[in-house]
Structure 1
């Protein structure tokens, strides 16, 4: 893969990461249009490394806010850590269960069946985008209605604080588990919306959602690196060796470029997101779902 393609994919990832529109779906569609195979071990590792780059951009962007919210005191950090652990456990359990069910049913016992082989299926990405769009739309319209009601009432309609509760963290972690196996089911969009639907304010839900991503990403990177290493050994045994060094170099370059693109996107989009209407992202995901399905019918 050429350096230009890596840079283009990094830019797509960086622009889409902050928005709840599934950056994975956008990168996979871009790969398809470039004639690449998104389900290959090298490409899934690249996708994860692109996420890693934007994860570091998110850390830089949110760091002061996290320090103020989660590291203000030992008690605040303890409460944050408990909620992250609880949410991550639910993510891992639900994600692994769904992964096993898919591998046992869709592959019908085929040897070496891996969920990642489905990542290039636009016919699966399209409904996942639509499902995320519906959740975002419901949460956004509910938020709009609450704001409208609050403007005509002197009573407080929400008692949510500056952080999420255990219940809210649990729901966000559970929904994140659904996002792991389904490319197109926006992780940030679905988790933030889930938090909003169980009473969290959008700001705390957004902050906690990106914190969950930072915790989850290293484990996913490790899994994909092992998958690439395993595929490399299997390919070498059949005489069709994978250029492991080239794949790793491309992935690391992609991580650097996505970090830079992510920083630019965060700076550019942050002020707009503060006043943006959440439900509009749901509309976007629904429209994107239709576009992706059209590309599938067109043979991509």
Structure 2
């Protein structure tokens, strides 16, 4: 992978991380379109690690709330919510890596998720919880379970956790914000685990200076682009809901299936 290719992938990550269209799925497809080797250890690491850069944009944009230590219960709720992902992610790590090699999985989940988003606003149209202090620990844990569905590439961590929040009675805005905050410990843990696993199994990958440069640049680019994407998404979601994202997923998913069927994408 070249530096230019790493920047392209990072831009895709920054744009898609907080939109309900699957950042991992879009990165996998981007890598295939760039004709990068699917079994490359560093590319698999890069796909996970640069998500941390995008996630850190949440810390910057919401720094007053994120570092308000007087509300310690909120941090505890995030811990409760991240437990399912930590457990399932650890147990199914190898299986998840296998799914990352499958554009077909991405195409199918994008398509299926699109149909769900078309109707999700009508299904959950009675959200009443608009303050994070009213999110119980039980609700936090259930939202965390919803997030685990996104371990399947193409599902979208953002979509799964926001829908989980709405299913638990959170307004669209609060569900989105809780999803953003939940992403910080989730992706920090995922990145840390992936780095540790790579260091143990393939230490040369992290000893290559070019790889380290691409990781650094990728995280910075993803961070900057994600700052803009978050501001856009919150406003758009409040005004228009999920329907447009649903149609986008359906169109992209169908197009990918066609490309795969005719042998243009493997």
Is TM (by shorter chain) over 0.5? yes
**1: CA distance, partners of 2:127 / 2:229:** 31
* 8 Å CA contact 1:61, 1:263 repeated in 2: yes
Structure 1's unaligned 5+ residue stretches are 104-113, 147-156
Question: Structure 1 residues 242, 204: closer, same or farther in 2, change over 3 A?
Answer: closer
> How far off its partner does 1:243 sit?
6.7
SS class of match (1:190): helix
User: What is the match of residue 248 of structure 2?
Assistant: 284
Residue by residue, what CA displacement relative to the aligned partner does 1:206-261 show, whole Å, maximum 9, x if unpaired?
1111111101112111222123324425xx7xxxx897332222111111111122
Aligned with residue 177 of structure 2, among 207, 218, 236? 207
Greater Rg over alpha carbons, structure: 1
Q: Secondary structure at the match of 1:36?
A: coil
Counting only pairs closer than 5 Å after superposition, residues 1-300 of structure 1 correspond to structure 2 as: 1-66=1-66, 71=68, 74=70, 76-78=71-73, 80-97=74-91, 99=92, 115-143=96-124, 146=125, 158-163=127-132, 164-180=135-151, 182-232=152-202, 244-297=208-261, 298=263, 299-300=265-266
If the length of structure 2 is used for normalisation, what is the TM-score? 0.86
Check conservation: 1:162, 1:204, Cα contact below 8 A: yes
Once the two structures are superposed, what CA deviation does each residue of 1:110-166 show, in whole Å capped at 9, x if it has no partner? xxxx641331211111222234334433422334xx3xxxxxxxxxx5542412333
Q: Tell me: CA distance 1:83–1:138, structure 2 relative to 1, closer, same or farther (3 Å).
A: farther
- Contact 1:40-1:117 within 8 A present in 2 as well: no
Give the superposed CA RMSD: 2.5
**Structure 1 261/227 Cα, relative in aligned 2: closer, same or farther at 3 Å?**
same
TM (normalized to structure 1)? Answer: 0.77
Looking at structure 2, the residues matched to 205 and 227 of structure 1 have their Cα atoms a distance apart, in angstroms, of: 32
The structural deviation recorded for 1:35 is: 0.6
